[in-house]
C-alpha cells in the first residue's frame, strides 16, 4: 500500500509535460503527492508556496511575517503613537521657548530618511543643534568616531546646551511619535538611514529596510554610544529582523525605558 509519494523533477525536464496527469492519477487513488519545486540552488532566507491571483507561486523573502503579528504590531504603534503625541505636545510648551532663546529658529528639525523598502519620509525631532549644523558638518568629518557611513562625534560643538540635555534624556526623539502615528515608523524597528548614507549602501546593507524603521531598536538598547562601527549597527539591525517577534518588541521597549531613565547609550 502507498499512502504518500514524493516527486522530484529536475529543472527543464520534459517530465513536466505529464506532471498534471501523474498527480491526478495519484489523487484518484487517494494518495497524497509531495512535489519538489526546483529552486535552481537559490540561497535565500525564507521561502513558502502559496497562491497569488490564481497562480501557485514560490515566495522568497528575507523574513516571512504573519499578518496577525504585523497587525498586532501596528495596533501597538497606534496606541503608543497617540500617547506619545500627547506627551510631545506637552513637552513642546516647555521646550519651545528654551530652544528659541538659545538658538533662534524652528523648534522642530526635519530630515528626509529612508524607510521600509526604500520609501522616503520626513522624520521629526526637537531641534538640538544650531541652525548652521549641516554647513559645519563638513569641517568635522575628520572628527567622526564611527567607522563606516554614519557620523558620530563626542562633544559635538554644533549641539546646543538644551540639545545636550534633550539627547541625554532622548527627549529630542519624541516628535517621531507623529511619524509612528502616520505609519512611517514603528515603535520598535531598525535605524532609518539618511539619504546620503543610503546611497553608499552595499546590497547586504539594504536588508535593514525589510521592516519599518523604529523609534527604538536593538541597537539603541545595546549601548549605542559604545558602538563605533557601522557594521555592528547593521549586525544588530539584521539580528532584530531575523528574530523579530511581538515578544521581542516588548522586551526592547522595556529595555528602552531603563536606558532612557538612566541616560545610558546616548550623547
Same domain, 171 and 117: yes
pLDDT at res. 20: 79
pLDDT category of residue 47 using cuts at 50, 70 and 90:
low
pTM metric for this prediction: 0.79
Q: What is the pLDDT of residues 93-124, one digit of tens each?
A: 999 999 999 999 999 999 999 999 889 999 99
In-domain check, residue 267 = no
**pLDDT tier at 173 (50, 70, 90 boundaries)?**
very high
Residues 81 and 31 in one domain: no
- Is the model's pLDDT at 172 over the cut of 90? yes
Range(s) of the domain holding residue 40: 4-61
42 with 121, same domain: the answer is no
Question: Has residue 243 been placed in a domain?
Answer: yes
- 140, 47 contact by CB (below 8 A): no
Residue 224 lies in a domain: yes
- Looking at per-residue confidence, does 3 or 190 come out higher? 190
156 Cβ contact list (under 8 Å, min separation 6)? 129, 140, 267
CA–CA distance from 191 to each of 45, 179, 217 (Å)? 21, 14, 7
Relative orientation angle of helices 67-102 and 161-169, to the nearest 10 degrees: 160
On whether residue 36 sits in a domain, the answer given is yes
| End-of-domain residue from the set 20, 39, 61 | 61
Distance CA 124, CA 173 (A): 8
C-alpha 145/C-alpha 130 separation (Å) is 21
Q: Which pLDDT tens digit goes with each residue over 236-260?
A: 999 999 899 999 999 999 999 988 8
Dist. CA 90–CA 95, nearest whole Å: 9
**Among 61, 93, 108, residue at a domain's last position:** 61
Average pLDDT over residues 7-17: 67
Q: Are residues 238 and 119 in the same domain?
A: yes
Q: What is the DSSP letter of 190?
A: B
Do 257 and 186 share a domain, yes or no?
A: yes
Cell numbers at 162, concatenated: 538644551
Give the count of domains, the chain. 2
Amino acid at each position: 500500500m502507498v499512502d504518500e509519494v514524493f516527486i522530484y523533477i529536475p529543472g527543464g525536464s520534459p517530465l513536466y509535460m505529464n506532471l498534471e496527469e501523474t498527480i491526478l492519477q495519484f489523487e484518484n487513488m487517494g494518495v497524497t503527492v509531495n512535489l519538489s519545486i526546483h529552486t535552481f540552488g537559490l540561497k535565500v532566507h525564507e521561502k513558502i508556496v502559496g497562491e497569488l491571483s490564481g497562480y501557485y507561486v514560490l515566495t522568497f523573502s528575507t523574513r516571512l511575517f504573519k499578518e496577525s503579528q504585523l497587525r498586532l504590531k501596528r495596533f501597538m504603534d497606534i496606541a503608543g503613537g497617540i500617547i506619545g503625541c500627547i506627551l510631545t505636545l506637552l513637552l513642546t510648551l516647555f521646550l519651545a521657548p528654551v530652544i528659541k532663546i538659545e538658538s533662534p529658529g524652528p523648534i522642530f528639525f526635519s530630515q528626509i530618511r529612508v524607510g521600509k523598502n526604500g520609501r522616503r519620509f520626513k522624520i521629526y525631532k526637537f531641534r538640538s543643534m544650531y541652525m548652521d549644523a549641516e554647513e559645519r558638518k563638513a569641517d568635522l568629518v575628520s572628527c567622526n568616531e564611527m567607522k563606516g557611513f554614519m557620523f558620530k562625534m563626542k562633544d559635538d560643538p554644533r549641539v546646543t546646551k538644551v540639545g545636550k540635555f534633550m539627547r541625554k534624556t532622548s527627549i529630542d526623539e519624541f516628535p517621531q511619535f507623529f511619524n509612528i502615528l502616520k505609519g512611517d515608523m514603528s515603535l520598535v524597528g531598525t535605524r532609518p538611514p539618511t539619504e546620503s548614507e543610503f546611497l553608499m549602501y552595499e546590497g547586504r546593507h539594504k536588508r535593514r529596510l525589510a521592516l519599518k524603521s523604529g523609534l527604538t531598536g536593538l541597537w539603541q538598547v545595546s549601548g549605542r554610544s559604545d558602538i563605533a562601527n557601522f557594521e555592528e549597527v547593521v549586525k544588530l539591525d539584521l539580528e532584530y529582523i531575523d528574530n523579530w517577534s511581538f515578544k521581542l518588541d516588548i522586551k526592547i521597549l522595556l529595555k528602552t525605558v531603563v536606558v532612557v531613565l538612566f541616560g545610558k547609550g546616548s550623547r
